[in-house]
């Protein structure tokens, strides 16, 4: 009896202390790819359904109103990522019929570098923390490409598809989704493509992993409970915890630089906005 | 908010004079008095008072939507798990959990077949039920155009509305079989745009310079303005002037007609249920038009067939590349939400009994995942979703083989899709023969 009373009090305390998600954006337009930069003071994300159909937005959180990052661009853009020093910024441009391009903005030179690949539609690029390379999917396989010249390196050669690469903050590990064993699960490997480890094994979709700043945890999207929700686990796949629990979609998770919170795109009553929430310990 | 051209019904925008005259004289804009059958022939007793035709331009994969193959090899079944529906024996891709929960509201055909694997041709065939008589040309009327010809519809609203982002196209040209075809442009759909915010724009219907909303009710003013302009510009084709003017005028001056296009009149929770996406709000507009007794509404997923296409990207279903990425991110969740909301909304309002809902593309996609990580065109076997107006719900009709290559049962050709739609609207086989529309096609028996 005493045990159950204590347990009930603990549950009550946890529910009282658990902070409600904080809404960071407004407008409800279709959003994706949130990313914190500048120590968490700035949120970058993609908004779709505008014309052109997908644009990168920059929102300084303590100020009002987001602005377009590339105001003059007429091509759809998405999937931003930043080097750890913030001096290089990679993203995807949709350039033609089944054609896309990985672009890298260099803050120092004010130049945009367009990377060339052996196939026409690279997707989901992520820049390495040192700003020297980009990892992305290319026709279902992961590749790595040096930004300042050099050959494209194949990181996977598997059956199925490999998507959504994420690189740990020390630059040594890649987490990604792969369907090599049937459905999408989360895997990790070294940044040169070795030491492959499967860290989730669910029949439903596991996707879009994101490393915590200290490299100890991975947040991801999973449909294991019926719809898209956000989960967090240790980087070896243990201690899976559910972060969101809502009948509508929660997706596109990213870590706040404090390592205690994650932001994600949540569909609430049909509107898409970015929310910030504490990660359960 | 509804935009009549650049004019917003709830604001006081101003646009050009010529644009309005184009609306008034453009014969293709309205059904109004254009070429209907005599009254005796147009009395219909179909179960469907209206049709909502959801057009997934580009061709969704049947395996990744409504006919997954969980026991096929990995290169065929793809990465998506299958989930149970409420219909025993029917499984869906995991991208459609809401529809799976509502499967007893609709039925699935799993043995559709088309005659071409080229978008423009297959699309025209899928929308008209037959091939052209001159290569990619000479198509008969689209299903909606046939309904337009025979169905009275409401007095103030066009009987065949296409909610679209523009004339459907591929990188190789426009889709020709979207409207009147060999019957002429008078039977083309009345096109409206709808944004993700539910702003509705009627691009062909523009108002006179300086025309404020309060002048819309001033019939004499409008007539004088048009007559004045007609004296100025004799180059305009004024054939059928009275009919077209009356048609244009009816929509312009009818508060009820304009209200049917105004999504701002919907409660926030209803708008939200459909999702703040172009397709979601377009489906809501379709429901409003059906509620206003418009007989045929076609909602186009995209203008362009291509999935990604530079600045033209509007995420069509032609996923030679990035099929699985974009279905995960976008196509699956958006379609699942919008179509589920539409079925719920029609059901709760008692409209599903009198509204036929059909959802399909021009073909399916290759069972085998390509080397590019996508799926290519596959007309030999694909799926369609049917609900309402006499369709027996909770069924699946036809069966494909264990890898989704071919139907194991009788294939359902596009002509059967058209015959079934027209049958439910009340067009008999004899009427089809008289009209020269799909005279040899049969309805899809298992659906009814």
Each residue's pLDDT expressed in tens, for chain B with a length of 448 residues: 444 443 333 322 333 333 333 333 333 322 333 344 333 344 456 899 999 999 999 999 999 999 999 999 999 999 999 999 999 999 999 999 999 999 999 999 999 999 999 999 999 999 999 999 877 889 999 999 999 998 877 888 889 999 999 999 999 999 999 999 999 988 899 889 999 999 988 765 554 445 555 665 666 666 666 565 555 444 444 443 443 355 556 666 677 888 899 999 999 999 999 999 999 999 999 999 999 999 999 999 999 999 999 999 999 999 999 999 999 999 999 999 999 999 999 999 999 999 999 999 999 999 999 999 999 999 999 999 999 999 999 999 999 999 999 999 999 999 999 999 999 999 999 999 999 999 999 999 899 9
Give the chain A residue whose CA is nearest to the CA of B311.
A75
B383: nearest Cα among B31, B46, B62 = B62
On chain B, the residues whose CB falls within 8 A of the CB of A32 are 329
| A183·B97 Cβ contact <8 A | no
Closest-approach residue (CA) in chain A for B341? A270
- Which superfamily does CATH assign the domain made up of A25-278 to? TolB, C-terminal domain (2.120.10.30)
**B258 inside 8 A of chain A by CB:** no
- The structural domains of chain A, with segments of one domain joined by +, span 25-278
- At A220, is the secondary structure helix, strand, or coil? strand
Integer Cα distance of A171 and A156 in angstroms: 17
Q: What is the ipTM of this complex?
A: 0.92
Q: Which residues contact B88 (CB under 8 A, 6 or more apart)?
A: none
Neighbouring C-beta atoms of residue B255, cutoff 10 Å: 12
Question: Is the Cβ pair B324, A161 closer than 8 Å?
Answer: yes
Q: Which CATH superfamily is domain B46-202+270-447 in?
A: Alkaline Phosphatase, subunit A (3.40.720.10)
Q: Which residues of A touch B368 (CB under 8 A)?
A: none
Q: Which of A139, A140, A154, A204 is the best residue to mutate to test the B interface, defined by the most B CB atoms within 10 Å of its own CB?
A: A140
Taking an 8 Å cut-off on Cβ atoms, the answer to whether B373 and A140 are in contact is yes
Scan residues 242-261 of A and list those with Cβ closer than 8 Å to B.
Answer: 249, 251
Domain edges within chain B: 1-30+203-260, 46-202+270-447
């Amino acid at each position: 009896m005493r045990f159950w009373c204590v347990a009930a009090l603990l549950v009550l305390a946890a529910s009282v202390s658990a902070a409600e998600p904080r809404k960071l954006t407004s407008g409800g337009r279709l959003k994706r790819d949130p990313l914190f930069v500048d120590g968490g003071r700035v949120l970058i994300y993609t908004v779709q359904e505008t014309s052109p159909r997908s644009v990168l937005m920059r929102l300084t959180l303590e100020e009002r109103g987001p602005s377009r990052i590339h105001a003059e661009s007429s091509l759809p853009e998405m999937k931003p990522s930043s080097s750890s020093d913030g001096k290089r910024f990679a993203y995807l441009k949709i350039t033609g019929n089944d054609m896309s391009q990985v672009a890298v903005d260099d803050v120092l030179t004010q130049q945009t570098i367009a990377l060339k690949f052996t196939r026409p539609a690279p997707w989901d690029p992520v820049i390495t923390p040192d700003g020297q390379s980009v990892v992305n999917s290319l026709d279902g396989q992961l590749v790595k490409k040096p930004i300042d010249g050099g050959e494209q390196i194949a990181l996977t050669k598997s059956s199925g598809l490999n998507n959504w690469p994420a690189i740990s903050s020390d630059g040594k590990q890649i987490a990604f989704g792969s369907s090599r064993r049937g459905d999408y699960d989360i895997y990790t490997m070294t940044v040169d493509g070795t030491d492959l480890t499967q860290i989730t094994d669910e029949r439903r979709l596991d996707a879009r992993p994101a490393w915590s700043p200290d490299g100890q945890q991975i947040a991801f999207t999973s449909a294991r409970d019926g719809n898209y929700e956000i989960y967090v686990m240790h980087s070896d796949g243990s201690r899976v915890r559910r972060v969101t629990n809502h009948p509508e979609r929660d997706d596109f998770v990213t870590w706040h630089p404090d390592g205690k919170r994650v932001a994600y795109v949540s569909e609430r009553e049909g509107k898409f906005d970015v929310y910030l929430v504490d990660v359960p310990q | 908010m509804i935009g009549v051209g650049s004019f917003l019904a709830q604001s006081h925008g101003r646009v050009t004079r010529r644009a309005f005259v184009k609306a008034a004289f453009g014969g293709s804009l309205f059904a109004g008095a254009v070429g209907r059958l005599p009254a005796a022939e147009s009395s219909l007793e179909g179960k469907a008072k209206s049709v909502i035709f959801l057009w997934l331009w580009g061709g969704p994969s049947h395996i990744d939507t409504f006919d997954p193959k969980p026991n096929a090899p990995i290169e065929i079944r793809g990465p998506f798990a299958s989930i149970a529906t409420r219909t025993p024996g029917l499984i869906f891709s995991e991208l459609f959990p809401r529809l799976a929960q509502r499967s007893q509201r609709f039925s699935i055909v799993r043995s559709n077949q088309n005659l071409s694997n080229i978008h423009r041709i297959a699309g025209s065939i899928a929308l008209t039920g037959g091939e052209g008589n001159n290569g990619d040309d000479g198509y008969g009327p689209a299903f909606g155009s046939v309904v337009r010809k025979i169905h009275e519809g409401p007095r103030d609203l066009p009987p065949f509305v296409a909610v679209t982002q523009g004339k459907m196209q591929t990188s190789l040209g426009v889709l020709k079989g979207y409207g009147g075809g060999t019957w002429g442009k008078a039977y083309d759909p009345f096109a409206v745009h709808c944004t993700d915010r539910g702003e509705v724009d009627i691009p062909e219907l523009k108002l006179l310079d300086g025309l404020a909303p309060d002048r819309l009710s001033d019939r004499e003013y409008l007539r004088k303005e048009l007559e004045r302009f007609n004296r100025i510009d004799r180059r305009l084709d004024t054939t059928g002037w009275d009919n077209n003017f009356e048609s244009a005028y009816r929509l312009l001056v009818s508060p009820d007609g304009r209200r049917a296009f105004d999504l701002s009149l919907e409660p926030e929770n209803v708008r939200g249920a459909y999702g703040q996406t172009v397709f979601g709000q377009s489906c809501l507009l379709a429901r409003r038009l059906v509620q206003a007794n418009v007989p045929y509404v076609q909602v186009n997923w995209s203008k362009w067939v291509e999935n990604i296409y530079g600045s033209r990207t509007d995420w069509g279903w032609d996923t030679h590349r990035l099929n699985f990425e974009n279905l995960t991110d976008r196509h699956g969740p958006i379609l699942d939400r919008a179509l589920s909301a539409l079925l719920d909304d029609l059901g709760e309002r008692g409209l599903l009994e009198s509204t036929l809902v059909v959802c399909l593309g021009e073909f399916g996609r290759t069972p085998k995942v390509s080397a590019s990580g996508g799926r290519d065109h596959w007309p030999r076997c694909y799926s369609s979703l049917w609900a309402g107006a006499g369709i027996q719900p909770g069924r699946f009709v036809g069966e494909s083989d264990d890898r989704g290559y071919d139907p194991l049962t009788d294939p359902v050709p596009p002509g059967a899709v058209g015959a079934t739609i027209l049958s439910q609207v009340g067009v008999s086989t004899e009427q089809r023969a008289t009209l020269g529309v799909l005279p040899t096609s049969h309805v899809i028996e298992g659906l009814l």
